[in-house]
Structure 1
């Protein structure tokens, strides 16, 4: 199912957070949003999974305006893994995964068990079903939350910084898992090299605007990264995958990377 953001705009307390954002996510593709802190990545994602309402533009899933859907329908079709998804309550893994059934009103215990088992097997966590989520590692928790999303049977997966607080191995495993699922996926990522290695397309946001969009090889260039992030970078090909890899130089004295590049 395709996702289209058309002219998206969001204002809060008379401050424009997102302005004229256009993003396309093709069916089955993995598309990344990158940009400095405060560039509008999370705000954009919140509009997609309806935690926030845009005041301009549209979010269309399969050609349908998401805001015209009932909340139950959009919850069935869109699954989100947010930065605030970590639970501090002592649920078992199975109970957390079952929460994904909520939009579908699945009542039969056998149906819930089948869906839970299939989702946990898909993420390699079937052996954790009866464990407390409080006993899991960061990587295990993220996999369980992906399993919860799979139980929703979504058409779109939205991930807000899914690799935060994970070590290198678990970052790679998480994105490898997302690729294998072949779900239409929109994700915000801080790590530009992860975006370059795993995303089909990348959109660069700065001060609430999309300043570049396209394949990683065309977008993650020294010129664009320098303008947006205020850093010097060398781009080389990965020796195995040939994906672009970014080698950063120290920030020059007197520069402020947080300001990035301004567009009129």
Structure 2
């Protein structure tokens, strides 16, 4: 299922957070949103999973405006991992993951053997099978993040929306989680803080600044020294990853002094 964002604009308290934003996520692709804090990444994602209604523009799933769907139909199509999540009761990790099956069941329906198998598979994909019986409230930040990603996978969505999915995860699980997401083949739109992870994981990247798309394309096309310098205000030297060939960035501060910039690797 493809996703298209067409002319998205969000205004709150008289301030424009996103202005005429346009991007496309082809079916089955992993597309990343990158940009500085406050660039509009999370706001864009909230519009996709219907937590925020845009002031103008549309989010289209296979050509259908998400706001024309019922809440249940939307939940059957889109699973979201957000930065804000609150669990007040001592649910186990397995119970949290099972909540991902809710859009596919009636209000009083219990878990079926298929539901349980899907939840077990989701926990295994994120390396969290051993956490199934643990109270969610006792888990570390990284463990909680893996369980919440498992819940999203158990939902069997057509579209995954991930807002900083590697928060709290050590490097091993960052790589494993993103590889697991790619392996699903599900259309994925993710806001990522780490530009090198985005370059390694994403088919396409959109670079945002001040609520607008500055550039969109393959990681090699977008993650250039010129664009990174203009948007983030840092020097960047791009080298190919020795195994994958994906562009990787080495950073240095921009001092405005040619001699000091040269010492940090600037041109």
TM surpasses 0.5 = yes
Quote how far apart the aligned CAs of 1:159 are: 0.3
1:120 and 1:164 map into 2 onto residues whose CA distance is: 18
1:224 and 1:97 map into 2 onto residues whose CA distance is: 40
Match of 1:130 in 2: 133
1:73 and 1:8 map into 2 onto residues whose CA distance is: 22
Contact 1:139 1:174 in 2 (8 A): no
1:241 and 1:172 map into 2 onto residues whose CA distance is: 13
Contact 1:30 1:201 in 2 (8 A): yes
Which deviates more from structure 2 when the two are superposed, residues 169-178 or residues 209-218? Answer: 169-178
Match of 2:223 in 1: 220
Match of 1:8 in 2: 8
1:20 paired to 2:20 = yes
1:114 and 1:228 map into 2 onto residues whose CA distance is: 45
Contact 1:30 1:200 in 2 (8 A): yes
Which sections of structure 2, spanning at least 5 residues, go unmatched? 258-267
Note the 1:11-160 alignment, pairs <5 A. Answer: 11-85=11-85, 87=87, 89-106=89-106, 107-111=109-113, 112-160=115-163
Match of 1:176 in 2: 179
Match of 2:198 in 1: 195
2:88 and 2:228 map into 1 onto residues whose CA distance is: 37
1:253 and 1:163 map into 2 onto residues whose CA distance is: 33
Contact 2:235 2:252 in 1 (8 A): yes
Query: What do residues 172-217 of structure 1 show as CA deviations (whole Å, max 9, x unaligned)?
Result: 1221121112110000011111111111000000000001000000
What SS does the corresponding residue of 2:103 show, helix, strand or coil?
A: helix
Cα RMSD (Å) of the superposition? 1.7
Quote how far apart the aligned CAs of 1:88 are: 5.2
Match of 2:265 in 1: none
2:86 and 2:251 map into 1 onto residues whose CA distance is: 32
Q: TM-score, normalised by structure 2?
A: 0.90
Which deviates more from structure 2 when the two are superposed, residues 162-171 or residues 211-220? Answer: 162-171
2:104 and 2:203 map into 1 onto residues whose CA distance is: 31
Match of 2:214 in 1: 211
Which sections of structure 1, spanning at least 5 residues, go unmatched? 255-264
Which deviates more from structure 2 when the two are superposed, residues 17-26 or residues 112-121? Answer: 112-121
2:184 and 2:163 map into 1 onto residues whose CA distance is: 17
Contact 2:145 2:168 in 1 (8 A): no
1:174 and 1:121 map into 2 onto residues whose CA distance is: 11
Quote how far apart the aligned CAs of 1:70 are: 1.0
Query: What do residues 76-108 of structure 1 show as CA deviations (whole Å, max 9, x unaligned)?
Result: 110000011363532101110111122222513
